[in-house]
Amino acid sequence: MSWYGVTDIWTYVIGAIGIILLPGPNSLFVLSVATARGVRAGYQGAMGVFLGDSILLALVGLGAAGLLRAYPALFLVVKYAGAVYLAWVGLNLLRAALARWQTAAALAQTSAEAEGEAGRDADRPVLGGGMEQPFRRALVISLLNPKAILFLLSFFVQFIDPAYEAPAVPFLILSAIIMAASAAYLSALIFAGVRLANTFRRRVRLAASLSAGVGGLFVWFAAKLASASLH
């Protein structure tokens, strides 16, 4: 028995929430942007993720996963482009972390002048480089992930009744559910990021360590994507 072509909707809701809560480059980038630049920039990043996810969902509906399977060379191009971009974002964050750590070391060696510089440094972004143009960066990060297309397809088909006369209806229902859950989760991350920024504002070395950790995770995401396969 199905509800507007959706089978076992509550199992899908639980599964969708579990998928969204898994750490990934999209959520980590939005958290980082909010920590570095505040609520407005965080939501700009979130809107990039929403647009990217919407495009991926549309591509899934149009059979993009089948296209990638039929043309492995196309999959390789998209996969390595995504890996290179994620690595570039990660390396920028690592470079910014090193610069902030060196700044903190220099400030620690001065006296009265150091206090003035520390006050000015407290007003700088917590995470540093790689956080400019959050909407566009989040959009690219979201789109350059062919594994997302394949995963969404394999996940969605389990909850769509193949006998339903209008398959677009259950597809739209499932898409709306996962997008709503994603919006709630990213909003929570944005406000958590702002609180982190307030905590780290005057702790330059701690902020540098956070930036380095985020950068390292992005490099790890890049390596994981580069080793992904269609199977």
The owner of tokens 């996962």 is 178
For residue 93, what pLDDT is reported? 79
* Cβ-based neighbour number of residue 184 at 10 Å: 12
How many angstroms separate the first and last alpha carbons of the chain?
A: 31
For the chain, 231 residues long, give each residue's pLDDT as a single digit of tens.
677 778 888 888 888 887 788 777 888 889 888 888 889 999 999 999 999 988 888 877 777 666 767 777 877 887 788 788 888 888 887 887 777 776 666 655 554 454 444 444 444 455 555 567 889 999 988 888 766 666 666 677 677 777 777 777 888 888 888 899 999 999 999 998 888 777 666 666 666 777 777 778 778 878 877 777 655
Looking at the DSSP bridge assignments, the partners of residue 7 are 2
| CB 23 within 8 Å of CB 185 | no
- The pair of structure tokens assigned to 170 is 């259950």
Q: Structure pTM? A: 0.74
Between CA 133 and CA 143, with CA 138 as vertex, the angle to 5 degrees is 135
| Alpha-carbon torsion, ordered 126, 132, 135, 141, to 10 deg | -90
**What are φ and ψ of residue 3, in 5° steps?**
-115, 105
| CB 5 within 8 Å of CB 161 | yes
Secondary structure of 71-137 in HEC code, one letter for each residue: CHHHHHHHHHHHHHHHHHHHHHHHHHHHHHHHHHHHHHCCCHHHHHHHHHHCCCCCCCCCCCCHHHH
| CB 174 within 8 Å of CB 12 | yes
